Amino acid sequence: MNIALVTGSAGLIGSEAVEFFADKFDLVIGIDNNLREYFFGKDAATDWNKNRLSSKIKNYKHVNIDIREVKDLEKIFADYNTDIKLILHTAAQPSHDWAAKEPFTDFSVNATGTVNLLEMTRLHAPQAVFIFTSTNKVYGDNPNFLPLIEQETRWEIATEHAYFEQGIDEKMSIDNTKHSLFGASKVAADVFVQEYGKYFGMKTGVFRGGCLTGPNHSGAQLHGFLAYLMKCAITGNPYTIFGYKGKQVRDNIHSYDLVNMFWHFYQLPKAGEVYNAGGGRFANCSMLEAIRLCEKISGKKINYTYSDNARNGDHIWYISDVSKFKKDYPTWTWKYNLLDTLTQIHDGLSVREIVTN
């Protein structure tokens, strides 16, 4: 039997992966305990998505456990052992602002939870492929020291800079920079995943995400900015831009395109490899540009205000260079541009708003 094990399976990336893998594996086991509701409140709960998957996907088995509990993880790994061919680890405390509220919780979920899963894999399914969703926050605020130029609606990097054409590559230092506590706990996990590849020879891959987005994000003010912004457009709730004149730039990758990267890696895995993963030059926007796009798609004005207080460690300009991945996996490319993605988010949210109201 071939099994894919997905942690954080009710979240944005985990749920996309469950749907993607359903016809590629005999069984998809998902682990998620809706901790996202504890982090960000009722609006960010992911149980609706778990219910959607459970009713829609016949070979999906949901397990409501916490990745911090090794004994609970061990039960699954001991039951299915080498039938587990893929572990996709997406469960996390994903917000850099939230991490400072409860550093113990953040570290135990992001760092210790990852070590728990790596060790279970090594002991029970050492041949399996292990994929980890890391983050561009491992580079800390290093990107903020690039030569940036202010334009009308966005910050942009100087045209003569090596990063202008494709964005930031994996060679940027992760050292001696302000990561936020979230970035630091993800660095610990990121390096551990690399190490299980380099030291034990396991097939592990680290994907350092830019902004990951898609219609199944349970967007909250502290995490999932495009989904949250669109939610504000639909509901009329106020939105606050924090700092950098609203011109900060993020690249955005649709959850489908990211999971398709994982699928390519699974079929031709490497040991302890690291890739930047984002929308790159293909899909990126500033806050102001995102607001305009959301207004255009929803046909509604967003009720936003501006605060001069930039978020601690927030990036001013970040665009992922994915050319290393493209070189290793030349048949992969993006399917969804920003307009497609935002339209899907809008349509998904509109249905959910109707269902929940």
Ligand X SMILES: NC(=O)c1ccc[n+]([C@@H]2O[C@H](COP(=O)([O-])OP(=O)(O)OC[C@H]3O[C@@H](n4cnc5c(N)ncnc54)[C@H](O)[C@@H]3O)[C@@H](O)[C@H]2O)c1
User: Which of residues 269 and 279 has its CB atom nearest to ligand X in the complex?
Assistant: 279
Cα distance between residue 116 and residue 64, in whole Å: 16
Out of 68, 292, 300, 326, name the contact with ligand X by CB under 6 A.
68
Contact call for residue 36 and ligand X (CB under 6 A): yes
Out of 3, 120, 211, 294, name the contact with ligand X by CB under 6 A.
211
- What six digits make up the tokens of 95? 């917000």
User: Which of residues 108 and 147 has its CB atom nearest to ligand X in the complex?
Assistant: 108
User: Which of residues 33 and 142 has its CB atom nearest to ligand X in the complex?
Assistant: 33
- Give the 3-state secondary structure of residue 326: helix
User: Which of residues 127 and 253 has its CB atom nearest to ligand X in the complex?
Assistant: 253
Give the N- to C-terminal CA distance of the chain in Å, as an integer: 42
Out of 112, 116, 121, 133, name the contact with ligand X by CB under 6 A.
133
User: Which of residues 135 and 221 has its CB atom nearest to ligand X in the complex?
Assistant: 135
User: Which of residues 10 and 146 has its CB atom nearest to ligand X in the complex?
Assistant: 10
How many Cα atoms within 13 Å fall on the side-chain side of residue 119? 14
Contact call for residue 146 and ligand X (CB under 6 A): no
Contact call for residue 135 and ligand X (CB under 6 A): yes
Contact call for residue 341 and ligand X (CB under 6 A): no
Contact call for residue 12 and ligand X (CB under 6 A): yes
Out of 94, 140, 143, 215, name the contact with ligand X by CB under 6 A.
94
Q: Phi, psi at residue 85, to the nearest 5°?
A: -100, -25
Fill in the DSSP letter of residue 25. Answer: S
Segment interacting with ligand X, rule: CB under 6 A, options 145-153, 165-173, 208-216, 302-310: 208-216
Q: Which of 5, 118, 127 is nearest to 70 (CA)?
A: 118
Beta bridge pairs of residue 30: 6, 62
Out of 31, 118, 287, 288, name the contact with ligand X by CB under 6 A.
31
Cα distance between residue 138 and residue 228, in whole Å: 23
Out of 73, 90, 247, 319, name the contact with ligand X by CB under 6 A.
90
Out of 92, 138, 146, 302, name the contact with ligand X by CB under 6 A.
92
Q: Is 174 exposed, middle or buried (0-12, 13-18, 19+ CB in 10 A)?
A: buried
Segment interacting with ligand X, rule: CB under 6 A, options 21-29, 61-69, 145-153, 343-351: 61-69
Contact call for residue 349 and ligand X (CB under 6 A): no
Contact call for residue 209 and ligand X (CB under 6 A): yes
Q: Is 175 exposed, middle or buried (0-12, 13-18, 19+ CB in 10 A)?
A: exposed
Give percent helix, percent strand, percent coil of the chain, each to the nearest 5: 45, 20, 35
User: Which of residues 115 and 300 has its CB atom nearest to ligand X in the complex?
Assistant: 115
- What six digits make up the tokens of 3? 């099994």
User: Which of residues 108 and 153 has its CB atom nearest to ligand X in the complex?
Assistant: 108
Neighbours of 177 (CB within 10 A): 19
Contact call for residue 109 and ligand X (CB under 6 A): yes
Do residues 239 and 302 lie in contact, with contact meaning Cβ atoms separated by under 8 Å? yes
Q: Phi, psi at residue 341, to the nearest 5°?
A: -65, -45
Contact call for residue 261 and ligand X (CB under 6 A): no
- What six digits make up the tokens of 204? 């592990």
Q: Say which residue the tokens 């509109």 belong to.
A: 350
User: Which of residues 39 and 329 has its CB atom nearest to ligand X in the complex?
Assistant: 39
Residues that bind ligand X (CB under 6 A): 8, 10-14, 31-36, 46, 66-68, 90-92, 94, 109, 113, 133, 135, 209, 211-212, 224
